[in-house]
Every structure is written in C-alpha cells, then in structure tokens.
C-alpha cells in the first residue's frame, strides 16, 4: 500500500478513492440498468461521498449514512415540487436552513451540511429528455447509488486505514519540523522586525496543533496491535516535543543582542535546524519507507556544547547570562533526547509484551468527538449564535438566488446560481472573500477546459471518465486548494448536461455569469445578520481562562498520580485548542470592517501571555517529570501548593486584576546557578513566573473586553 500510493497525500488518496468508487458505480449501473439510471445513481454517490474523508473506518457509517438519507429525501422532495416555483422556493429555504444548522456539531459537520444542498442542485438539474423515471423512481436510484458508495467507502477506509495513519503521523512530524525551523529563524534574528509579533508566528502553531489532532484521530482510535503501539509511542513523543518547543521560547529574549547574545542565539538555532532535519528524516521513514536517520543525542550535545563554548570564550566569567544559557542548553537537551528516542523507537521491534502507557479507552479521550447529539443544537437556538445567524442568511441568500435565476435571460439554469451562492457563502467574511475570488477563477479555468473538450461531445464514455476525474479532484482539494476544487466543480456542472443530453451545447457564458452573480450575492449577504469575530470575545476568553485554570491545577502537583497525569494531558489539549480558537478569530477579523475588528494590541497581548503561561506550565511539568531527583521534595511540594491557588484564582472569569498591563509582581533578571545539583530555585522561579503570567493574561482579557465595550459592534451595511 505504501509503494502504491508513494508521494500522495491523504487528501489525494482519498480523492482517488472517491473517483474510483464513482466510476465503479457509474459503470455498474449503466451496464445493469441503463444510462439514465446510472446518471441518477452517480448523483447519489457524489452527494454521499462528501463526508468520506480520511478517517478511522468505524467513523464511516455515522458520517455517510445521514448524508445518504438526506440526499435521497431532498431528491424526492425536489422531484415532487419542481413544477411549482413557489414550492421550490420554500423547499430551498427549508433545506438550506436545516442543512446549515448541522454546523452546530462543529467543523466535522461541514461536509454533511453540504450534502443536501448539492443533492438539491443535482435534483434541480435533472432534465433527461423523455425521462421514464418519476420522482420516486429517481430518488430510489439516487438512494441505491449512495448506498453503494457508502459500502465502497467503508471497504476502502478499511483498506487504507494503515496508510492514513502513516501519513497522519508523518504530517505531524513535518509540521513540528516546520515549527522548529521558524523558531530557529526567530532565535537567530533572521526574521524581519514586522514579523516578530506573536500573531506572525501563530500560523505555524495552529498548523502543528491541527496536525497533531489529526494524528490523534487516526492513531489513538486504531485497534490495539504491535504496529499501532509503535505509532502511539511515536505520537506521544511528538506531543511532548511540542511542549518543549513551546518552552524553547522562554528566556531567549534575555540573551541580548550583543555579540555574545547573537552568538548564543545562532548556536541554539543551528541545533534546532538539525532537529528539524532529523524529524523530516523520521517522517520520510514513516510514510515513504526511507532508511531511518541514525541519530545520537550524545553527539548532538557535544556539538552544541562546542558551539556554545566558542561564544563563552569571549564572555566575562561573571556574566549572569551564563546561568541562563546553561538552563536553555539543558532544555534543548530534552528535545535532543526525545527525537533520538523516537528514532530508536522507529527502528526497534514492535512491542506487544510490555504494558502500554495508556489504555485504548484512555487514548480515545483525546480523539475528536463523533456522533450527532441533538443536545448540541440547544445552545444555537438564539440569535447570539453564529450558527443560527449563518443558517438564516444562507436561507435568504439561496432563496433569492433561485428567484433571481428565474429573472435572468438564462433562467433555464437557476440551479447554477444556487450552487454558486452555496459554495461561496461561508460563516465568516474572510472565508467568503477567499471563496468568492477562487470560485470565479476556478470557473473560468473550468469553462476553458470544457471548451477544449467540446469536440469530443459525441464520446460519452470519455466524458464520463473526465466527469469522474473532476469528482475526485474536487473532493481532494476542497480544503487544500479551493481554486482546483472549483475547477473540478465547474467541469462537473458543465459535463453533467452533456452526459444527460449528448450533443448539447455547454453554456459557458451562462455558467460564468451565474458564478459572478452568485459570488456577489454571497458577498452581499455576509452583511446580513453578520457574525463579526468580536461577538465571540466573551465566550472565547471565558473558555480560555477556564481551560488554563484547570490545566494549571492539574500540572501544579508534586508527584501526580497516573490519573492526574492523564487529566493534565486532556486539559493541555483543551488549552491549546482554546488558544487556537482565539488566534483564528484574530486572523479572520483582519478583513472585517474597521469599526468592528478586534483590538490588535489587546489580542496580541492575550495570545502572548497565553502561550507563555502554557510554556511555563510545560516547563514545570518537565522538571517534575524529568528532574525530580534534583528537586528538594519538601520545598518543591510546598512551592507548588503555594503557587497553584493564586494561579487558578487569577484565571477565574471574575478575578480582580490590576488596571495596568504589568501586575507589579517582582521580576528579577538574576538567574539561579544551573550547574548546581539542586534545581529547586529554578522551579521556584518558574512558579513565580506562572503567577505573573496568569495575572497578566487576565489583565489582557480585561483590557481586550474593555476596548471592545468602548467600540460596540454596529450592524454594517455595504
């Protein structure tokens, strides 16, 4: 399997699987029941395929079966109501609203929410001359095609599960390597001043968090086996490495910008780049079967020590930064050890006799939620919910698009206008603008391709193959490069009439005009019941403070039990997700009208202190886990107990915080000696900084909310 799909991403493999499944269904139904039946079955297969993404096999049925049933039902309703424009307008409104409310279950419901909309468009486009299928027969064949595809998806997910796990693990390794390189560039001073903000570096952190969660969803949900155990061990090591990488940000700014400081920085950056190269080698060995790199933590340590010694030779013996660079060197040593251990684990025999660090049930707690509980809808039955607001605006936009489609000179294709609005209109302005531009570009490219294929209109088999290829391409790139997906979607839209009516003329001009008009309608409706990012400030900040408080309580313990360590891992995952949510809101707000944007400086401060607090808590956790023998038990336990309550209290939503940006806690630039056996002073310093960052984070939240209240959200009219 690895050799067969070498060089392909999981999305590309998934796209090939979808295309092959649609081709098999098309060929089978055409041979058994004729061309018209095959066309109906294909539409059911395509709509059902939308939620078929790289995932664990057991998640196939819960995702595809709702899409299958919704597709068949929508097809039947459209078939019964197509003769009445009034009935169709109401049906479009109902389908749009109910489909978009599925987003209450989160981003994983995105493909499912679009399946009924695409089924609506396909059913509206159904126009086989002298069709022998009535509405019930048409819906039945759509249901049959979708059911066959669901079976195909379950089979292929089982066959590809191991390959998906390899690619997910390798993807997380490469994301970590990318973050190491970007961090190395910042440490070495190779990044322009305008890109030194926390906001500028957040993209790599979010990418790494997404890659790690994708790997968890594949690997932690796998059935226990020696091979799966190896992958679990590698992923757990990579997750710990992410914490160490975040901690590598600490204190480096105190090295200074003089000759010695720059020399130390470059030495540290060189080592981090070597680590990134090693991770790339491990990723290649994981997903391509390349020879694993031969790594030695001891050799890395010697090389790092030599590079630092060259700088130390020109530094005064009394320079206090010597203690700091020793601490940073030791922290980097943890990363050296972890990557070398991952390399050794990759080449070691599969283990099945020793006890696993976590049970399968414990690991599944870290997997993304599944299922469609109705209770999730309750929180979104209010106009304060962005999901409900988007569902209402999409309902109005699609209904208007259908009506406008009948007024246009090319009213024979109102479904094209409906589809254009459906794919462009997103839940926020940033994604809508991006989709708008890429949709128009992709449509132009698709029209040119179909124009080039016009001379083969009398070759239905070849056109069918091109249609299937367009299905797979759209599926593979919809979340990667949407302009490619839009090109494939245009091919599908223009080729479907040719397949139903061989020899007919593709309506290039109408298709392009519908796309432009639909994109403009979608853009305009972004300002109807808008969901500006600042509306989520209260919820996101409350969520962040709550998760950080729980994580701090779980981490600041002396010799935590196994259950407490598991709880700390869960709250760590939740805290990173909360930070990523705020970072995403900060990114999206940049294209919003200026008077409703989030306050730049306040969001920057919030993210900075949030990530610094996570880094400090991670460093405390590492010291307790790795250097406990060099800590004074009584003093350390007392210091942890004394720090836990103030940190948790400062993070409470209604905590009293100072009015200034600096909480006034004493901060000393005199670092403890790192060479001594007792590292308790370093632990006490970290705990002191945890208290300081917790107060400053709460301060940043208050300042951000205060800035928002001084500039209240107003409904924006274009």
Question: Are the CB atoms for 138 and 75 separated by under 8 Å?
Answer: yes
How far is the C-alpha of 139 from the C-alpha of 145, rounded, in Å? Answer: 10
Tens-place pLDDT, residues 146-186: 999 999 999 999 999 999 999 999 999 999 999 999 888 88
pLDDT for residue 355 is more than 90: no
Range with the poorest average pLDDT among 16-25, 495-504, 549-558, 589-598:
495-504
How far is the C-alpha of 331 from the C-alpha of 314, rounded, in Å? Answer: 23
Residues for the chain: how many in total?
A: 718
Residue 641's contacts (CB-CB under 8 Å, 6 or more residues apart) are: 556, 558
Confidence band, pLDDT 50/70/90 cuts, at residue 660? very low
Region 353-357 average pLDDT: 67
Secondary structure of 644-713 in HEC code, one letter for each residue = HHHHHHHCCCCCCCCCCCCCCCCCCCCCCCCCCCCCHHHHHHHHHHHHHHHHHHHHHHHHHHHHHHHCCC
Region 519-540 average pLDDT: 88
pLDDT for residue 664 is more than 50: no
Q: What Cα–Cα distance (Å) separates residue 175 from each residue in 207, 278, 354?
A: 7, 13, 30
How far is the C-alpha of 280 from the C-alpha of 163, rounded, in Å? Answer: 18
Measured at the CA of 628, the angle between CA 624 and CA 629, to 5 degrees, comes to 175
Tens-place pLDDT, residues 42-55: 999 999 999 999 98
Per-residue model confidence (pLDDT) at position 495: 75
Cα 442 to its chain centre, rounded Å, is 24
Q: What Cα–Cα distance (Å) separates residue 335 from each residue in 99, 180, 326?
A: 46, 11, 15
Closest CA to 48 of 158, 134, 136, 144: 144
Q: Could you write out the DSSP letters of every residue in 163-229?
A: HHHHHHHHHHHHHHHHHHHHHHHHHTT-S-GGG-SHHHHHHHHHHHHHHHHHHHHHHTTSPP-HHHH
Per-residue model confidence (pLDDT) at position 152: 96
Question: Are the CB atoms for 648 and 553 separated by under 8 Å?
Answer: yes
Tens-place pLDDT, residues 259-316: 888 888 898 999 999 999 999 999 999 988 888 888 888 888 888 888 888 887 777 7
Residue 420's contacts (CB-CB under 8 Å, 6 or more residues apart) are: 401, 439, 514, 515, 517, 518, 519, 521, 522
Region 506-524 average pLDDT: 82
Of 502 and 591, the one with more pLDDT? 591
Per-residue model confidence (pLDDT) at position 254: 78
Per-residue model confidence (pLDDT) at position 501: 63
Confidence band, pLDDT 50/70/90 cuts, at residue 568? very high
How far is the C-alpha of 426 from the C-alpha of 583, rounded, in Å? Answer: 19
Range with the poorest average pLDDT among 147-156, 500-509, 553-562, 657-666:
657-666
Range with the poorest average pLDDT among 23-37, 260-274, 444-458:
444-458
How far is the C-alpha of 697 from the C-alpha of 549, rounded, in Å? Answer: 11
Per-residue model confidence (pLDDT) at position 714: 41
Per-residue model confidence (pLDDT) at position 456: 63
Per-residue model confidence (pLDDT) at position 196: 54
Q: What mean pLDDT is reported for the chain?
A: 85
Q: Which helix (H) or strand (E) holds 243?
A: helix 226-247
Per-residue model confidence (pLDDT) at position 223: 87
What is the value of pTM for the model shown? 0.87
Per-residue model confidence (pLDDT) at position 326: 81
What is the distance between the terminal CA atoms of the chain, rounded to a whole angstrom? Answer: 53
Q: 455-467: buried (b, 16+ CB within 10 Å) or exposed (e) per residue?
A: eebeebeebbebb
Range with the poorest average pLDDT among 16-30, 60-74, 378-392, 674-688:
674-688
Question: Are the CB atoms for 486 and 438 separated by under 8 Å?
Answer: yes
Per-residue model confidence (pLDDT) at position 41: 94
Q: Could you write out the DSSP letters of every residue in 318-355?
A: T-THHHHHHHHHHHHHHHHHHHHHHHHHHHSPPP-SSP
Per-residue model confidence (pLDDT) at position 716: 30
Question: Are the CB atoms for 586 and 203 separated by under 8 Å?
Answer: no
Tens-place pLDDT, residues 228-238: 889 999 999 99
Angle between helix axes 562-588 and 198-219 (nearest 10 degrees) is: 130
Count CB-CB contacts under 10 A for residue 9. 15
Closest CA to 456 of 468, 443, 469, 465: 465
How far is the C-alpha of 309 from the C-alpha of 64, rounded, in Å? Answer: 60
Per-residue model confidence (pLDDT) at position 147: 97
Tens-place pLDDT, residues 200-209: 566 777 888 8
How far is the C-alpha of 102 from the C-alpha of 400, rounded, in Å? Answer: 22
How far is the C-alpha of 694 from the C-alpha of 688, rounded, in Å? Answer: 10
pLDDT for residue 674 is more than 60: no
Per-residue model confidence (pLDDT) at position 461: 73
How far is the C-alpha of 498 from the C-alpha of 507, rounded, in Å? Answer: 10
Residue 542's contacts (CB-CB under 8 Å, 6 or more residues apart) are: 653
């Amino acid at each position: 399997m690895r050799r067969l799909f070498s060089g392909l991403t999981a999305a590309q493999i998934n796209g090939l699987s979808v295309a092959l499944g649609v081709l098999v269904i098309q060929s089978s139904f055409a041979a058994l029941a004729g061309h018209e039946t095959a066309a109906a079955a294909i539409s059911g297969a395509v709509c059902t395929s939308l939620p078929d993404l790289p995932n664990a096999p057991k998640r196939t049925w819960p995702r595809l079966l709702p899409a299958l049933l919704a597709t068949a039902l929508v097809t039947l309703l459209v078939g019964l109501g197509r003769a009445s424009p009034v009935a169709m307008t109401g049906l479009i409104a109902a389908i749009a609203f109910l489909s978009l409310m599925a987003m209450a279950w989160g981003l994983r419901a995105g493909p499912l929410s679009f399946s009924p909309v695409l089924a609506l468009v396909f059913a509206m486009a159904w126009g086989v001359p002298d069709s022998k299928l009535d509405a019930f027969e048409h819906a039945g064949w759509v249901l049959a095609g979708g059911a066959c595809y669901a079976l195909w998806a379950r089979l292929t997910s089982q066959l590809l599960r191991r390959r998906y796990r390899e690619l997910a693990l390798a993807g997380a390794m490469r994301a970590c390597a990318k973050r190491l390189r970007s961090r190395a560039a910042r440490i070495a001073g190779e990044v322009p001043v305008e890109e030194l903000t926390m906001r500028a570096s957040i993209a790599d952190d979010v990418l790494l968090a997404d890659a790690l969660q994708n790997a968890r969803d594949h690997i932690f949900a796998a059935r226990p086996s020696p091979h799966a155990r190896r992958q679990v061990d590698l992923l757990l090591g990579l997750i710990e490495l992410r914490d160490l990488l975040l901690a590598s940000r600490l204190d480096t700014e105190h090295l200074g910008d003089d000759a010695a400081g720059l020399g130390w920085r470059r030495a540290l950056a060189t080592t981090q780049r070597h680590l990134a190269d090693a991770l790339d080698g491990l990723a290649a060995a994981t997903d391509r079967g390349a020879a694993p790199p031969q790594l030695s933590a001891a050799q890395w340590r010697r090389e790092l020590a030599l590079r630092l010694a060259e700088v130390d030779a020109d530094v005064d013996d009394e320079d206090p930064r010597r203690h700091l660079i020793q601490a940073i060197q030791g922290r980097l040593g943890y990363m050296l050890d972890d990557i070398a251990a991952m390399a050794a684990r990759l080449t070691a025999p599969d283990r099945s006799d020793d006890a696993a660090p976590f049970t399968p049930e414990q690991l599944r707690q870290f997997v993304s939620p599944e299922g469609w509980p109705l209770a999730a809808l309750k929180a979104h039955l209010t106009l304060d919910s962005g999901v409900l607001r988007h569902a209402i605006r999409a309902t109005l936009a699609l209904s208007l698009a259908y009506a406008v489609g009948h007024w246009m000179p090319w009213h024979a294709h109102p479904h094209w206008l409906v589809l254009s609005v459906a794919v462009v209109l997103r839940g926020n302005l940033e994604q809508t603008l991006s989709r708008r531009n890429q949709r128009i570009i992709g449509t132009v490219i698709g029209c040119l391709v179909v124009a080039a294929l016009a001379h083969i209109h009398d070759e239905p088999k070849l056109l069918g193959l091109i249609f299937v290829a367009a299905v797979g391409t759209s599926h593979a790139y919809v979340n990667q490069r949407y302009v490619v997906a839009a090109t494939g979607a245009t091919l599908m839209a223009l080729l479907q009439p040719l397949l139903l009516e061989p020899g007919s003329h593709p309506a290039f001009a109408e298709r392009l005009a519908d796309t432009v008009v639909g994109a403009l309608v979608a853009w305009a409706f972004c300002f109807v019941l808008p969901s500006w990012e600042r509306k989520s400030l209260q919820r996101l900040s409350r969520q962040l403070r709550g998760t950080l408080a729980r994580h701090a309580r779980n981490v600041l313990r002396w010799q935590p039990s196994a259950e407490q360590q598991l709880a700390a891992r869960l709250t760590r995952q939740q805290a990173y997700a909360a930070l990523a949510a705020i970072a995403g809101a900060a990114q999206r707000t940049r294209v919003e009208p200026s008077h409703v944007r989030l306050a730049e400086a306040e969001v920057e401060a919030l993210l900075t202190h949030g990530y610094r607090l996570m880094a400090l808590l991670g460093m405390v956790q590492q010291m307790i886990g790795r250097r406990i023998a060099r800590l004074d038990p009584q003093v350390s336990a007392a210091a942890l107990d004394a720090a836990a309550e103030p940190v948790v209290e400062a993070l409470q939503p209604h905590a009293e915080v100072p009015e200034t940006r600096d909480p006034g806690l004493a901060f000393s630039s005199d670092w403890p000696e790192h060479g001594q056996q007792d590292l308790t002073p370093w632990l006490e310093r970290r705990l002191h900084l945890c208290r300081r960052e917790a107060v400053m984070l709460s301060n940043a939240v208050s300042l951000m909310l205060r800035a928002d209240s001084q500039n209240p959200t107003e409904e924006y009219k274009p």
